């Protein structure tokens, strides 16, 4: 078959080239008849393929939580040399956040300017660096937030993340992602989830690329419950797209599998492509979603709604209603609330909030927060609209009619855990040391009578 990195025709160009649905049990075969019928692991599989299961949950998980897929491949993934620590080591990927030598903590509001694309050749793996996180991949509970900048395709290697699921949010440049289930084209404005354990390669058809990555340990993303919203709204299950089976055969001398394990990288050589899966079936799969298809809900009379109404995906904890990590977006939408301060209100939150901007502007920050940038407001750290936004909003008064927020896509990773921040993120030349200044100009508008005494009745 053709090299998957040779031209754009090898990657799906529209929704019809994918399977659709969230949480479905799918099946796909690149050659008719390659899927066994009536059982998962026959003595001899069709076309002499090997049967291999990949499990995303324990064997005894409740059926509604069980995730697994069966892959039928030309050679099994076990056929490789022993893993060795990658040389040179990466040094800026973290998956255990109790190490004080690489992480610190602060309640101060933090903001970063967009990170420059590197001058030297850098692929997705070498361009990945951790900003913050909490918990531990070893303990199977927690999360990490990374960013990436890259300017070249991965070439003759694939990455396997044994630590957790990646949710990748490209901000600049398309990603062509080859997985063991097939191929995904992901553009800025779309997101992709690459589940724990799947091998994948990232190619850059547009050259330089930049984006954000959320990683969760010990659980998987789900759609949030809709509650009183009813049966429809937010992200529709049908809009999540899964790749169709595609395979690569023939010798690939010196092919490298890079395994992320406990935040460290290990390499193993093999003589064939890991993307040799001719057919597969199951519900543990990579998938993508176009954020423009999100159906937002909002206030239609008074007050600004909580950001939870914009949740696309959630990774829950054992405590009902408390998320290990929520993925929330702020898409184009109408603002119609009456007698209401329409931007987000000032608040302190028991959750920690990491924000990014894919394109456009953000309604609560008139200056300084630009596409490719990021901010972090940790647990109970106060935040809200900057001075310019506040003054412009109240100047409009109660006569402000309906208005539409356009040409924007901001997002938030929100967690119940308090993140530790990597030292290189705190010491980064791209950190905005003047971020606090955006609120310093807020002045008192208190208009109580000057002759009144302090205190109440």
Residue 362 marked in a binding site: yes
Neighbouring CB atoms inside 10 A of 202's CB total 25
Q: How far apart are CA 217 and CA 397, in angstroms?
A: 46
Residue 430 near residue 112, CB atoms below 8 Å: yes
User: End-to-end alpha-carbon separation of the chain, Å?
Assistant: 82
Q: Which two tokens stand for residue 125?
A: 């793996």
Token pair of 59, please? Answer: 């064997």
Catalytic residue among 16, 146, 281, 304: 304
Long-range contacts of 118-123 (CB under 8 A, 24+ apart): 118/149, 118/150, 118/151, 121/151, 121/152, 122/149, 122/150, 122/151, 122/152, 123/150, 123/152, 123/153, 123/154, 123/155, 123/202
Is 180 annotated as belonging to a binding site? no
| CA distance readout (Å), 261 to 26, 31, 264, 266, 289 | 28, 34, 5, 7, 27
**Rounded CA separation 415/323 (Å):** 6
304: annotated active-site residue: yes
Q: What tokens does 23 get?
A: 């949480």
Rounded to an integer, what distance in angstroms lies between the CA atom of residue 79 and that of residue 272? 9
Q: Which tokens is 246 given?
A: 């595609």
Ordered DSSP codes for 325-353: EEEEEE-SEEE--SSS--SPPPB--SSEE
Q: Which of 297, 334, 319 is nearest to 415 (CA)?
A: 319
Instruction: Check the annotation: does 347 bind a ligand.
Output: yes
Binding-site annotation: residue ranges for Fe cation: 347, 353, 383
- Catalytically active residues, by annotation: 304
Q: Which segments are annotated as binding site for homogentisate?
A: 362, 383
């Amino acid at each position: 078959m053709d090299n998957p990195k040779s031209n754009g025709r090898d990657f799906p160009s529209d929704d019809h080239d994918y399977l659709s649905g969230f949480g479905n049990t799918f099946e796909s075969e690149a050659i008719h008849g390659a899927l066994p019928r009536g059982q998962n692991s026959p003595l001899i599989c069709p076309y002499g393929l090997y049967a291999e299961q990949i499990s995303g949950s324990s064997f005894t998980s409740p059926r509604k939580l069980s995730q697994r897929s069966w892959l039928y491949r030309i050679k099994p993934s076990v056929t490789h040399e022993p893993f060795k620590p990658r040389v040179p080591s990466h040094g800026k990927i973290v998956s255990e956040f109790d190490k004080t030598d690489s992480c610190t903590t602060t309640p101060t509001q933090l903001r970063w300017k967009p990170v420059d694309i590197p001058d030297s050749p850098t692929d997705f793996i070498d361009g990945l660096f951790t900003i913050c996180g909490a918990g531990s991949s070893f303990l199977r509970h927690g999360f990490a937030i990374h960013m990436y900048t890259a300017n070249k395709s991965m070439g003759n290697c694939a990455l396997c993340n044994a630590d957790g699921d990646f949710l990748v949010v490209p901000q600049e440049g398309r990603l062509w992602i080859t997985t063991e289930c097939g191929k995904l084209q992901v553009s800025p404005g779309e997101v992709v989830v690459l589940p724990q354990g799947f091998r994948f390669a990232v190619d850059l058809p547009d050259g330089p690329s930049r984006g954000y990555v959320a990683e969760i340990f010990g659980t998987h993303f789900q759609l949030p419950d809709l509650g009183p919203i009813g049966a429809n709204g937010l992200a529709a299950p049908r809009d999540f797209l899964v790749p169709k089976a595609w395979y690569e055969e023939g010798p690939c001398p010196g092919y490298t599998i890079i395994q992320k394990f406990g935040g460290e990288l290990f390499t193993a050589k093999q003589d064939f492509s890991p993307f040799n899966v001719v057919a597969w079936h199951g519900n543990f799969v990579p998938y993508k979603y176009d954020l423009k298809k999100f159906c937002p809900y909002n206030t239609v009379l008074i007050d600004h709604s909580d950001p939870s109404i914009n949740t696309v995906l959630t990774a829950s904890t054992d405590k009902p209603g408390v998320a290990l990590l929520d993925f929330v977006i702020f898409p184009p939408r109408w603002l119609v609330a009456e007698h209401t301060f329409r931007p987000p209100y000032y608040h302190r939150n028991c959750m920690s909030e990491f924000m990014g901007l894919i394109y456009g502007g953000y309604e609560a920050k008139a200056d300084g927060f630009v596409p490719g940038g990021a901010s972090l407001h940790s647990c109970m750290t106060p935040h809200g609209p900057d001075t310019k936004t506040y003054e412009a909003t109240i100047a409009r008064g109660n006569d402000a009619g309906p208005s539409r927020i356009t040409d924007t896509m901001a997002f938030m990773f929100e967690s119940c855990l308090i993140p530790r921040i990597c030292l290189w993120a705190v010491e980064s030349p791209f950190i905005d040391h003047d971020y606090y200044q955006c609120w310093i100009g807020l002045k008192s508008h208190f208009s109580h009578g000057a002759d009144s005494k302090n205190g109440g009745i």
